[in-house]
Structure 1
Amino acid sequence: MKFILYGTEISPPVRSVLLCLKALGLECELRNIDLLAKEHLKEEFIRKNPQHTIPVLEIEDGKYIWDSHAINCYLVNRYAKNDSLYPKDHYLHAIVDQRLHFDSGVLFPALRSINYPLFYHNEHEVPEWKYDCIREAYLFCEKFLEHYNYFCGNTLTIADFHFLATITSLEAYIPVHGDQYPRLFAWLKRMQVLPYYNEVNGLPVHKFIELVHQKLRGH
């Protein structure tokens, strides 16, 4: 099965889906949607997703799914050989769901609150309170990892893909240092040994960070 994924690799939500696809051994064609060129506002794209957000996954029967969290839940529920990435146990399932909501409700909004004025309104100054939101989110992550190797226990889940894509992007603003956030730092190192990490997340996030630094310098 080869999917069509609409988005851009520098987008954290898009990368979270690409990570999941790799973990499942599924192929996709990534069709680039240039947000800065407002390609997501074209009528053709809005017909696929009226919220005009990325990523959008086109599945085999011509249907579309958007929101990276919904996409990854769909992919695992339908194609995974076991439930390790998204456990069926009711309690463990709820833990993964909570972490997914944390990403959509805390982590990613902390990133978007800086990115949106930076990229769309040419603002070059970031208020300190926005940095404080990132630091607070990192501290929550430290607590989540207090007794575990991954964010929902000692095995990898789809929540880790979302946290990875978002946190490595947040590092454009506040890097994760081992002396300040030792558990989070160790988790990042653990995730970097995934065989598909560099291709799917490492290289694209470097492009994103370079772009952010250019914007902060007013270029």
Structure 2
Amino acid sequence: MSGIILYGNDISPPVRACLLTLKALKLNFEYKHVDILAGEQLTDDFIKHNPQHTVPTLSDNGVWLWDSHAICAYLVDKYAKDDSLYPRDLVLRARVHQRLYFDASILFMSLRCITRPMFKNNVSIVPREKTQGIIEGYTLLEKFLTSAPYLVSDCLTIADFCCVATATSLGGVIELDAKKYPKVSAWIERLKKLPYYEEANGWGCKRYIEILKTRLTAIVS
């Protein structure tokens, strides 16, 4: 029996990135739901293993990791049959890292700056300066996809998993305009054809968007 345990919640984009990676690798794992809205990540036992008390958190036979980007890279390095999802070629790996940092610093941060006040303080109005971060993210993704079907090259990588989990979630604040961002739209549709996409990202993303659209009652664009 596998000793891999993923602690997470399907509404979390970073958790869904890890689920995409685990499914792509066809790994057996146990998935433990953490009710982050109820504060289950704040228990003493959880904090003992992850002082940042964030999801996703991974336990691999007693090795504990958190941060979706670190988890996805670790899983591929340890368990993949080849390096296509996380290339060992220095140039390609550097490009994967750039896209992962882009997800962390631009895409996900633009979303977190909106959703954290919403979840913690019931803030429902999204001011213009925060919506601009999402527009910047869409615009940069469109540029990244100018010369290849995926974010790094002709091959799918963990950069695609991490970025698509966030990018699809942004639609809960500002829906993606397929006419304005045709390459991003085509890239998302390409990933949706993966046999594990709906289970790993699609279903949870729909739930997340429903929450955002219900609680964000006014958006200043």
Contact 1:145/1:183 (CA < 8 Å) preserved in 2? yes
Could you tell me whether the CA contact under 8 Å between 2:125 and 2:217 is conserved in 1? no
Q: Distance in 1 between matches of 2:202 and 2:36?
A: 21
Q: Matched residues in 2 for 1:2 and 1:154: separation?
A: 33
Partner of 2:161: 161
Aligned residues: 217
Structure 1 counterpart of 2:157, one-letter code? T
Q: TM-score normalised to the size of structure 1?
A: 0.96
Separation (CA, whole Å) in 1 of partners of 2:3 and 2:203: 23
1:1-219 mapped onto 2 (5 Å cutoff): 1-60=2-61, 62-217=62-217
Give the letter aligned to residue 193 of structure 2.
V
Q: List alignment gaps of at least 5 residues for structure 1.
A: none
Which protein, 1 or 2, shows the higher relative CO under an 8 Å CA cutoff with sep ≥ 6?
Answer: 2
Read off the aligned partner of 1:199 and give its amino acid letter: E
> What percentage of residue pairs aligned between the two structures are identical?
48
RMSD: 1.1
Q: Is the 8 A contact 1:36 1:120 kept in 2?
A: no
Matched residue of 2:32: which SS? strand
Q: SS of the residue aligned with 1:76?
A: helix
**Which string of whole-angstrom CA distances, capped at 9 and with x for unpartnered residues, describes residues 114-172 of structure 1?**
00011110011001111111001111111100001000011100000001100011111
Instruction: Specify the code of the residue in structure 1 equivalent to 2:150.
Output: Y
- TM-score, normalised to structure 2, is 0.96
Secondary structure of 1:58's counterpart equals strand
Q: Secondary structure at the match of 1:86?
A: coil
How far, CA to CA, are the matches of 2:75 and 2:91 in structure 1?
Answer: 21
Displaced runs of 4+ in structure 1, greater than 4 A?
none
- CA–CA distance in 2 between the matches of 1:64 and 1:2? 11
TM superposition shift of 1:40: 1.3
Q: Does the 8 A contact of 1:118 with 1:216 survive in 2?
A: yes
Are the aligned partners of 1:2 and 1:26 in contact in 2 as well (CA < 8 Å)? no
Please report how far the alpha carbon of residue 2 of structure 1 lies from its aligned counterpart in structure 2 after TM superposition: 4.6
Secondary structure in structure 2 of the residue aligned to 1:84: coil
Residue 6 of structure 1 aligns to a residue whose secondary structure is strand
Q: Name the amino acid aligned to 1:111.
A: L
Tell me how far 1:217 sits from its aligned partner. Answer: 3.6
Contact 2:19/2:200, CA 8 A, preserved across alignment: yes
Separation of aligned partners in 2, 1:176 and 1:187: 12
Q: Secondary structure at the match of 1:26?
A: coil
Q: Is the CA contact (8 Å cut-off) linking 1:3 and 1:59 kept in structure 2?
A: yes
